[in-house]
Amino acid sequence: MTETGKPLTPADVTKGKLEKCTIVSYPKIVFFYPLLFASLVCGIVVQTSPTPENMSMAGSIFIFCFLFNMLVISFDFPGVRALVLVFGILAFFLGLNLLDIKAGIRIMPFITDFYKDFVHKNLSCSAVFYYCISAILFIMIACGILGNWLWDRWTIEPNRLVHRKGLLGELKEYPVIDLQIDKRIEDVFEHVLLLSGTLIFQPGPGVTPITLENVPNINRKEKKIQNIVRKLAVTRGE
């Protein structure tokens, strides 16, 4: 296990109250928050200015945001190259259609004609549709986060790793003395959206590793956990 920062002294440990760190693994649905905001904006645009052009443009924005979110959920993008590639492809096709629709510049007409004639013109949804999508996503995201916070959370304390699970508050403890921590950022998109990643705890020899996926603010959490474990090591060495 690697240490971060300067070495601690016993005096540092005895000052104040020892820290705790609560960790919650978020459900995958949280990565749909861009679609939530896009749906809300599209609904406002359609409601305030319900022209055919605005309704079609709102539909196109919704479809591209939906496509982006489905890519994030369906595939892993482990490196920056994958991030640049996907954004480049999306920007390329979106740019082709915008140039054709707004400026009349046709670079690849067989693509722009198909999108313009068969997709763009027919993407006219009401404001109620977008508001319903926003409401559904908001409820699912809120319930997923709240449910994990209440019934499936982990707490790193100075001398133990505690897992609280279930409606009845089932409690399971692991020692922190030999705790090994591994941080992994396996998907660039997910890290960009929530600064999230995967934390793997190895409480000791012979114990099954504990894997927590989709941990938000993973870098800050990992540093805080390392600090708590280092303080325990200092107190043991006194």
Residues 15, 59 within the same domain? no
Can you list the alpha helix ranges (DSSP code H) found in 75-118? 80-98, 109-114
Residues 101, 176 within the same domain? no
Host domain of residue 186: 10-28+146-237
Residues 194, 101 within the same domain? no
Nearest to 189 by CA among 96, 73, 111: 73
pLDDT at 215: 93
> pTM, whole model, 2 decimals?
0.75
Residues 130, 180 within the same domain? no
Residues 170, 76 within the same domain? no
pLDDT at 14: 46
Among candidate residues 142, 165, 198, the one where a domain is terminated: 142
Residues 35, 138 within the same domain? yes
For the chain, list the strands marked E by DSSP. 21-24, 152-157, 160-165, 170-175, 180-184, 197-202, 210-215
Q: What is the pLDDT of residues 151-169, one digit of tens each?
A: 888 998 888 888 988 777 7
The more confident residue out of 120 and 55 is 55
Contacts by 217-222, CB closer than 8 A, 24 or more apart:
218/183, 218/185, 218/191, 219/183, 219/195, 221/21, 221/23, 222/181, 222/183
Query: Quick one: what percent of the chain has pLDDT higher than 90?
Result: 29
Nearest to 178 by CA among 221, 232, 219, 227: 232
Question: Given pLDDT bands bounded at 50, 70 and 90, which one contains residue 238?
Answer: low
CA distance 44 to 130: 9
Question: What is the length of the chain?
Answer: 238
Among candidate residues 142, 168, 197, the one where a domain is terminated: 142
2 domain-assigned = no
Our count of domains for the chain comes to 2
Residues 220, 136 within the same domain? no
CA distance 197 to 52: 42
Residues 199, 109 within the same domain? no
Q: What is the pLDDT of residues 188-232, one digit of tens each?
A: 888 888 999 999 998 877 788 899 999 999 999 988 888 887 776
CA distance 148 to 34: 21
Least confident of 17-26, 57-66, 90-99, 148-157: 90-99
Among candidate residues 110, 142, 174, the one where a domain is terminated: 142
Residues 158, 87 within the same domain? no
